[in-house]
Amino acid sequence: MTERVECVVIGAGVIGLAVARRLARAGVEVIVLERAEMIGTETSSRNSEIVHAGIYYPTGSLKARTCVAGKHALYDYCAAHGIAHRRCGKIIVATDDSQVDELAALKERAAANGVGDLSWLTPDEVARMEPEVHCVAALHSPSTGIVDSHGLMLSFQGEAEERGAMIAYHAPVTGGRVEDDGIVVEVGGEAPMALKADRLINAAGIWAPAVARTVEGLDPGTVPRDYLCKGNYYTLAGKSPFARPVYPVPEKAGLGVHVTVDLAGQVRFGPDVEWVESIDYDVDPGRADAFYAAIRRYWPGLPDGAIQAGYSGIRPKLQAPGEPAADFMVQGPSAHGIGGLVNLYGIESPGLTSSLALADLVAEMLAVGS
């Protein structure tokens, strides 16, 4: 027997929960399907918990637009709902003269993206803010921050459920098909079922392309090739010498091994870039050697043996190794021709920051009011 529902959201990570909250608050009946035993167990809980300012992304890209809009919405939301966060700012450092032009280009790009608060810092000014940091020049981003990602997701979940949304755990999506009067979603697990939805939002994160490929009636040519990129994090033993995140000049494959400080004061270094073929969250202690070399470019005083394996995360990428970073891909009916279906692909960083803005975009694509 197939049960009829108004809306199904696949995935209870930060994006799926933000979408469920947004739609439920608009009066839509929502069921969230989550393959794991709880919310946010994968990409959403395996990141740096940074509230990004919107500095790095190509002007006009979906990443740039949703990051800047999402940042403002996220700070307002956290303040209104008592979510632990801190607008601590961050420093982006050039460790040799050849990188200064890249910092200048970053400042120009940030301004074009609507981030006009970056300012130059001299080495002496950096030393007063972060005495352990070595650089020849730096940028200060005062609107960067950190947030309790789990607290944020719990708040999204609570608001969605207060408006009638339901979350089904251990509910993997095994397939689906497009019919004239809706989209059927087949759900596995211990209690298999079928749901026919007027609206279906695929926010399955690293699994989103695989889920989309199981939907009969969706043109497979609209589903992008996906790649998995593992980022390993290491933690610092002992007392933190840092008050805020410190980032190097970005690398071709990512933002480089940077310092983040969580709300409890724990220092984390990462992520590195490791292209993988399957999901594996083990952290190889042997990769620490490369971390020491990268960190000592801006923190030359890092003691031997001071970092230890922490955790890892898998980022859903839409570009192959060596290719330029791809934008978020949010496909609605205008892209694939199926009414009521929205697929979100490649939602990696700054997905956490962009979550509320992406939820608004999904609602707009589905013509759901506020």
Give the pLDDT band of residue 253 (cuts 50, 70, 90): low
Could you tell me if 202 and 208 are in contact, meaning their C-beta atoms sit under 8 angstroms apart? Answer: yes
Residue 126 scores a pLDDT above 70 = yes
Residue 120, strand partner residues: 139
pLDDT of 288:
87
Q: Which residues contact 360 (CB under 8 A, 6 or more apart)?
A: 22, 69
Lowest mean pLDDT among 94-98, 153-157, 215-219, 288-292: 288-292
Sequence spans of domains, the chain: 2-46+150-225+325-365, 90-142+227-317
More confidently predicted of 217 and 273: 217
Own/partner pairs for 259-265, CB < 8 Å, 24+ apart?
A: 259/295, 259/299, 260/48, 260/49, 260/50, 260/146, 261/88, 261/146, 262/49, 262/146, 263/84, 263/85, 263/86, 263/146, 263/148, 265/240
**Superfamily name with CATH number, domain 90-142+227-317:** D-Amino Acid Oxidase, subunit A, domain 2 (3.30.9.10)
DSSP letters along 268-320, please? Answer: EEE---EEESS------GGGHHHHHHHHTTT-TTPPTT-EEEEEEEEEEESS-
- Percent of the chain surpassing pLDDT 90: 90
Q: Comparing C-alpha atoms, which of 282, 188, 299, 290 is closest to residue 247?
A: 299
Q: Is the dihedral of CA 238, 239, 244, 246 positive or negative?
A: negative
Chain centre to alpha carbon of residue 136? 31
Residue 101 scores a pLDDT above 70 = yes
Q: The tokens 């083990």 sit on which residue?
A: 282
The two tokens of residue 76 are: 């307002």
pLDDT digits (tens, 9 = 90+) for 111-120: 999 999 999 9
d(CA 127, CA 212): 50
pLDDT digits (tens, 9 = 90+) for 275-324: 999 999 999 988 888 889 999 999 999 999 999 999 999 999 999 999 99
Q: The tokens 């979550």 sit on which residue?
A: 355
Residue 159 exposure: Cα atoms within 13 Å on the Cβ side = 19
Give the mean pLDDT of 254-275.
88
pLDDT of 254:
64
d(CA 361, CA 189): 31
Fold matches, 2-46+150-225+325-365 and 90-142+227-317? no
Residue 201 scores a pLDDT above 60 = yes
pLDDT of 191:
85
Chain centre to alpha carbon of residue 340? 24
Give the mean pLDDT of 243-269.
87
Lowest mean pLDDT among 161-165, 223-227, 263-267: 263-267
- Report the alpha-carbon angle 111-54-48, nearest 5: 150
pLDDT of 114:
98
Peptide bond into 350 cis (omega under 30): yes
d(CA 57, CA 109): 8
H/E element, 81: helix 62-81
Give the SS3 label for residue 259: strand
The two tokens of residue 278 are: 């399957």
d(CA 72, CA 11): 24
Quickly count: other Cβ atoms within 10 Å of residue 104's Cβ.
14
- Percent of the chain surpassing pLDDT 70: 99
d(CA 23, CA 6): 10
Q: What one-letter code names the amino acid at 199?
A: R
pLDDT digits (tens, 9 = 90+) for 211-246: 999 999 999 999 999 999 999 999 998 888 999 999
pLDDT digits (tens, 9 = 90+) for 340-355: 999 999 999 999 999 9
Q: Model pTM?
A: 0.96
Give the mean pLDDT of 192-206.
97
pLDDT of 7:
98
d(CA 230, CA 243): 27
Q: The tokens 């013509």 sit on which residue?
A: 367
The fold adopted by the segment(s) 2-46+150-225+325-365 is: FAD/NAD(P)-binding domain (3.50.50)
Could you tell me if 135 and 93 are in contact, meaning their C-beta atoms sit under 8 angstroms apart? Answer: yes
